[in-house]
Chain A
């Protein structure tokens, strides 16, 4: 579902955030991406949703080479990729409900149908009671969950999450992880970037480790021990 072929990313500043990264994630997989701060995790996710272009190499999503997507096709690609952002990217000029509804309205859903789906998604992250609140009045963890609801509301093919449990307590973290597992079980490819090694240790999933822009496949513990 997601394939990187020798992908490098050099930012205009000259910093090489990714260096010849290659991997494959199958359709039914749920994979963790870990690494120290600045290792290039967010950069890797940004390449998948075309917030950045690779300097070298190719990124394929569902067999589609992203380099070959025209500017007009980018929005449609993004609709198939749900993203939970590290900095939430919520809008503070509207309610939680309208934040979550945004992808549906963009995709052309009727407001009635959209409302039904928004409530279902909010219910899943346990925020149905907060639907009329402005996200600015929510705690960091609640904002994170609004972001998760928005990422999954349009039933994407691929779900990317950048530090989705960064602000959550351990109980809530494992609940959110459980939620991701559920999505994975119905066929959504899930890629989660996280620092939370303790959490990863409890999960059976494959883990990819980035160090200074280079990828080390395999278990976290092994990669950590190798340094």
Chain B
């Protein structure tokens, strides 16, 4: 009935319990974390129905903003080359002769915010127009050339910087000899503005749904805390610190978040697969080589991280609110 511990000197007994070395303790701490992590996961898997439900809820809440972001990424990819399509036409007054017009074209080409500028004389404009329109015969009947001379220029800003573009347009319109400055590709700008708006909307949505994920995780963990009341009480009775009592619930939150991310990732992959064919057909019709892009590695990692952070935060919320109230009586 007596163990080595009890053959020690009388006075030593109190100190015996803390004789583990630092390295031992570190090792024990690591294996303890591993144990708590796997045990919390095992606990979730033991109630697969309830856990799956939570994972689905979190997954759907994460998938919504994630798919919006993916859609926007794809839009951006698709329209990336389109800034170049923005062109400004400067219609010159009739009083500006050909030489002055050509000079204006060269001057403008040297501006920093102008990538390229070409002077098109009245004669050249007429030729181009009759060629493209097929009204050549009709035009030759007219007593004089109705078309103005034009300087066509391509801004270096790109259509995405709407304000700067408006500014440029205003300046150009006020140049001497310029009758009217007109932007050809206003709709590209509108598209970009819409995409910027879409980005904001998905950010707001991501924020709200993220909050939802946090609350779902928090509430689920509040219930888990309630269910494990006895265990918490006994743990505190035999000397468990707050951190020790908290730990399994934080890991549970982590698993909820990570599982939710995986569900979101699967949903998103399914969605992309579902859309891949029609997008391909559409791209073919437009002679485009566009291909739908998925989340990619960094996107997937971000999604997982977002889920984990939200799950942990929800768990933290629940734990700080409810664990303190459970004290042994």
Q: How large is the interface on A (under 10, 10 to 19, 20 to 34, 35 or more residues)?
A: 35 or more
Nearest-CB distance from B292 to chain A (Å)?
Answer: 48
Chain B binding surface, main DSSP class: helix
How distant is the Cα of A154 from the Cα of B285 in the complex, in angstroms? 76
- Check B20 against A108 for contact (C-beta < 8 Å): yes
A183 CB contacts on chain B under 8 angstroms: 6
- Check A72 against B2 for contact (C-beta < 8 Å): no
How distant is the Cα of A49 from the Cα of B230 in the complex, in angstroms? 18
Nearest-CB distance from A131 to chain B (Å)?
Answer: 16
Q: Which of A59-107 contact B (CB under 8 A)?
A: 62, 72, 75-80, 83, 85, 89-91, 93, 102-103, 105-107
How distant is the Cα of A140 from the Cα of B28 in the complex, in angstroms? 34
- Check A80 against B14 for contact (C-beta < 8 Å): yes
User: Which residue of B28, B235, B329 is within 8 Å of A108 (Cβ)?
Assistant: B28
Say yes or no: A91-B231 contact (C-beta < 8 A), given A110-B28, A186-B6, A188-B13: yes
Q: Which of B39-81 contact A (CB under 8 A)?
A: none
- Check A186 against B28 for contact (C-beta < 8 Å): no
- Check B1 against A108 for contact (C-beta < 8 Å): no
How distant is the Cα of A111 from the Cα of B39 in the complex, in angstroms? 14
Question: Is residue B241 contacting chain A, with contact meaning CB distance below 8 A?
Answer: yes
User: Could you name 29 residue pairs across A and B whose Cβ atoms are closer than 8 Å?
Assistant: A28-B10, A51-B329, A72-B241, A75-B236, A75-B241, A75-B244, A76-B239, A78-B238, A78-B239, A90-B234, A91-B231, A93-B231, A102-B238, A105-B32, A106-B238, A106-B240, A106-B244, A108-B20, A109-B20, A110-B20, A110-B24, A113-B20, A113-B28, A120-B5, A154-B17, A179-B1, A182-B1, A185-B6, A185-B10
- Check A89 against B233 for contact (C-beta < 8 Å): yes
Question: Is residue A36 contacting chain B, with contact meaning CB distance below 8 A?
Answer: no
Question: Is residue B84 contacting chain A, with contact meaning CB distance below 8 A?
Answer: no
Q: How large is the interface on B (under 10, 10 to 19, 20 to 34, 35 or more residues)?
A: 35 or more
B236 CB contacts on chain A under 8 angstroms: 75, 78
How distant is the Cα of A72 from the Cα of B236 in the complex, in angstroms? 12
- Check B20 against A155 for contact (C-beta < 8 Å): no
Residue of B nearest to A28 (CB): B10
- Check B238 against A103 for contact (C-beta < 8 Å): yes
How distant is the Cα of A124 from the Cα of B6 in the complex, in angstroms? 12
- Check A91 against B230 for contact (C-beta < 8 Å): yes
Q: Which of A175-227 contact B (CB under 8 A)?
A: 179, 182-183, 185-188
Nearest-CB distance from B305 to chain A (Å)?
Answer: 30
User: Which residue of A83, A93, A111, A188 is within 8 Å of B237 (Cβ)?
Assistant: A83
Question: Is residue A157 contacting chain B, with contact meaning CB distance below 8 A?
Answer: yes
B329 CB contacts on chain A under 8 angstroms: 51
Question: Is residue A156 contacting chain B, with contact meaning CB distance below 8 A?
Answer: yes
Nearest-CB distance from B45 to chain A (Å)?
Answer: 15
- Check A186 against B10 for contact (C-beta < 8 Å): yes
Residue of B nearest to A88 (CB): B234
B235 CB contacts on chain A under 8 angstroms: 102, 106
- A108, A109, A120: which has the most chain B beta carbons within 10 Å? A108
Nearest-CB distance from A208 to chain B (Å)?
Answer: 23
How distant is the Cα of A120 from the Cα of B6 in the complex, in angstroms? 11
A179 CB contacts on chain B under 8 angstroms: 1
- Check B20 against A106 for contact (C-beta < 8 Å): no
How distant is the Cα of A44 from the Cα of B238 in the complex, in angstroms? 18
Say yes or no: A51-B328 contact (C-beta < 8 A), given A93-B231, A110-B28, A156-B17: yes
A72 CB contacts on chain B under 8 angstroms: 241-242
Residue of B nearest to A99 (CB): B234
Say yes or no: A157-B13 contact (C-beta < 8 A), given A108-B20, A186-B6: yes
- A83, A186, A187: which has the most chain B beta carbons within 10 Å? A186
Nearest-CB distance from A205 to chain B (Å)?
Answer: 17
Question: Is residue B12 contacting chain A, with contact meaning CB distance below 8 A?
Answer: yes
Question: Given contacts A72-B242, A124-B3, A157-B13, could you give 20 more A-B pairs where the C-beta distance is less than 8 Å?
Answer: A28-B10, A75-B240, A77-B239, A78-B238, A78-B239, A83-B237, A89-B237, A103-B238, A107-B17, A107-B239, A109-B28, A111-B35, A124-B1, A154-B17, A155-B5, A182-B1, A182-B6, A186-B5, A186-B8, A187-B10
